C-alpha cells in the first residue's frame, strides 16, 4: 500500500508540561557527502576508495527491520536523523523538549581505522554536528565524537571542542579493543575530566556482543545491552579510573538500569573479602557507581507489573542520576508524553529533565510559568 498518499501531517496538539524536558539520547546522522566535504584531500581519497568502514561481524547478523528506525522518521532524502526540520517537527516541537542531547553513533564504527583517518572522520562528524545542528538549533547540545582506539588523538579532539559550551559530553562506546578501565584509555578520561565534561558511554562499538560467539537473533543482541554496560562499569571501577579521576562523570546511555542494583550488591559483598585484590579502591565499589555514574531510561526494563519498576528504581537508589532518553529516531523510541507515567511521581520531574539539567548545567524551565 502506498504511503505517499498521506494528505496531511498528523498535527496533534501539543501538550505542555510544567516541568523541564531533556532528551538525553537523540541520534543524528551525518550524510556521507557532508563528511566527505569536511575531509582533507588525502583522507577524501581513502573515503572514496573504501567508503565508511567495512561492516565487521556484528553488522552481518540479522538486524531489526527498517534499519532499526521509526518508519515515519525517514526524510525525503537520506537517513533518519539527517534532517533538522524533521527532528524539530517530530521531536523538539511535538513534545516541547527544552534540551536535546545529540549522540552521533557513526563514531562507534569510525574509530578503529588507521588512527589519523579515524580522527579525521570524528572531527568531520563534530564539525557537521556544530555547523548543521548546534549553530541552527539552540535546543540541541552535542557529544564530542572521538577516535576511541587512539586515545592521544581522542584527547586532542576533546581539547579542540572543550571551549564550545554546546558540546556537553564526550562520546564513548561500550565496545572497544580492551576493557574501558584499562590505562590505554586514560588519556580520554584525563582530557574529559580536565574539560569538566562527562563521558557518555553508548552501547555499540567494535564488539557489540560480549561473551562467547555471536547472537543468532536481534532480540538476543538487543537485550544484551545491559550486560555490555555492566562490564564497562565493572572495568572502569575495578581498574581504578575514579581513583585517578575522582571528578569524572560517566553516563550509561541505552544500557538499561535495573542490572545496576544487583551488580552493586555483588561487588560490595565480594569486596569485603577481596579488598586486598584491589588496594587502589578507596571505598566500596558501589560508592563509585553512586558518585560517578548516571543512567538513561531508554530502553528501561519494563516488568509485567509496572509497580515493580518503582521497587527496582528504589533498589538502584540513584534517583538524581536517572535521565529520560527517547532514542529518536530508532524503532524503540520512547514518547516523552507516555514515559512519565512509568515513573513514580516523586521521581518524575527529576527523570524527565531536572537531573539532566544539573549534570549538563542547562537552564530549567521556570516553575511558575504555566505552559
Judge if the upstream peptide bond of residue 48 is cis by omega within 30 degrees of 0: no
Nearer to another protein, 40 or 335 (CB): 335
End-to-end CA distance of the chain: 40
- What's CA 191's distance to the chain center, in Å? 19
Residue 96 CB, shortest distance to another protein, in Å, is: 14
Q: For residue 110, give the nearest of 60, 150, 158 by alpha carbon.
A: 150
Measured from the CB atom, the residue of 273 and 305 that comes closer to another protein is: 305
Nearer to another protein, 52 or 67 (CB): 67
Task: Determine the 3-state secondary structure of 99 from DSSP.
Answer: strand
Whose Cβ is closer to another protein: residue 72's or residue 177's?
72
- Output the smallest distance, CB 6 to another protein, in A: 5
The burial of 317, by beta-carbon neighbours within 10 Å (0-12 exposed, 13-18 middle, 19 or more buried), is given as middle
Q: How far is CA 161 from CA 126, 155, 169, 197, 279, in A?
A: 9, 10, 10, 10, 36
Query: Which helix (H) or strand (E) segment is 140 a member of?
Result: strand 140-145
To another protein, the closest distance from the beta carbon of 242 in angstroms equals 37
Nearer to another protein, 1 or 33 (CB): 1
Smallest separation, CB 225 to another protein (Å): 17
Give the residues lining the site for another protein (CB under 8 A): 1-3, 5-13, 65, 70-73, 331-335, 337-338
- In this structure, what are the phi and psi dihedrals at residue 323, rounded to the nearest 5 degrees? -125, 140
**Which residue number, 5 or 49, has a Cβ lying nearer to another protein?**
5
Q: How far is the CB of 248 from another protein (least distance, A)?
A: 35
Shortest Å, Cβ 97 to another protein:
15
Q: Nearer to another protein by C-beta: 185 or 328?
A: 328
Is the CB of 285 or the CB of 336 nearer to another protein?
336
Closest to another protein by CB, 59 vs 302, is 302
Q: How far is the CB of 260 from another protein (least distance, A)?
A: 25
Give min distance, CB of 12 to another protein, in A. Answer: 7
Q: Smallest Cα–Cα separation from 142: which of 166, 171, 162?
A: 166
Which residues, in sequence order, are CB contacts of 251 under 8 Å at separation 6+?
24, 169, 198, 199, 200, 201, 293, 294, 295, 296, 323, 359
Distance in Å, CB of 92 to another protein, minimum: 16
- The C-alpha angle 35, 39, 43, rounded to 5 degrees, equals 115
C-alpha grid cell, residue 352: 524527565
Ordered strands of the 167-175 beta sheet: 22-26, 99-102, 140-145, 167-175, 199-205, 250-253, 293-296, 322-323
Amino acid at each position: 500500500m502506498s504511503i505517499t498518499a498521506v494528505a496531511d501531517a498528523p498535527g496533534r496538539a501539543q501538550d505542555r508540561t510544567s516541568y523541564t524536558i531533556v532528551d538525553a539520547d537523540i541520534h543524528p546522522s551525518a550524510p556521507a557527502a557532508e563528511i566527505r566535504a569536511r575531509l582533507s584531500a588525502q583522507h577524501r581519497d581513502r573515503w572514496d576508495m573504501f567508503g565508511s568502514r567495512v561492516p565487521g561481524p556484528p553488522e552481518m547478523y540479522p538486524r531489526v527491520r527498517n534499519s532499526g528506525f521509526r518508519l515515519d522518521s525517514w526524510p525525503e532524502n537520506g537517513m533518519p536523523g539527517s534532517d533538522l526540520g524533521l527532528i524539530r517537527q517530530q521531536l523538539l516541537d511535538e513534545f516541547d523538549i527544552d534540551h536535546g542531547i545529540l549522540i552521533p553513533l557513526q563514531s562507534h564504527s569510525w574509530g578503529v581505522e588507521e588512527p589519523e583517518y579515524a580522527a579525521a572522520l570524528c572531527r568531520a562528524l563534530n564539525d557537521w554536528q556544530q555547523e548543521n545542528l548546534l549553530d541552527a538549533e539552540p535546543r540541541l547540545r552535542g557529544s564530542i565524537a572521538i577516535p576511541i582506539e587512539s586515545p592521544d588523538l581522542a584527547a586532542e579532539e576533546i581539547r579542540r571542542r572543550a571551549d564550545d559550551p554546546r558540546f556537553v559530553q564526550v562520546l564513548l562506546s561500550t565496545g572497544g579493543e580492551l576493557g574501558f578501565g584499562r590505562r590505554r584509555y586514560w588519556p580520554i578520561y584525563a582530557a574529559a575530566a580536565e574539560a569538566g565534561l562527562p563521558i557518555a558511554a553508548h552501547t555499540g562499538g567494535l564488539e557489540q556482543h560480549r561473551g562467547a560467539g555471536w547472537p543468532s537473533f536481534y532480540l538476543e543482541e538487543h537485550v544484551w545491552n545491559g550486560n555490555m554496560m555492566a562490564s564497562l562499569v565493572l572495568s572502569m571501577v575495578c581498574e581504578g579510573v575514579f581513583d585517578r579521576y575522582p571528578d569524572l562523570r560517566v553516563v550509561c546511555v541505552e544500557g538499561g538500569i535495573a542490572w545496576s542494583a544487583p551488580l552493586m550488591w555483588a561487588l560490595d559483598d565480594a569486596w569485603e573479602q577481596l579488598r586486598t585484590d584491589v588496594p587502589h579502591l578507596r571505598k566500596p565499589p558501589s560508592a563509585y557507581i553512586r558518585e560517578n555514574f548516571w543512567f538513561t531510561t531508554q530502553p528501561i526494563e519494563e516488568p509485567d507489573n509496572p509497580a515493580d519498576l518503582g521497587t527496582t528504581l528504589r533498589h538502584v537508589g540513584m534517583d538524581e542520576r536517572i535521565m529520560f532518553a527517547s532514542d529518536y529516531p530508532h524503532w524503540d523510541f520512547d514518547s516523552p508524553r507516555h514515559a512519565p507515567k512509568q515513573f513514580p511521581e516523586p521521581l518524575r520531574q527529576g527523570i524527565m529533565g531536572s537531573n539532566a539539567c544539573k549534570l549538563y548545567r542547562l537552564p530549567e524551565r521556570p516553575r511558575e510559568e504555566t505552559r
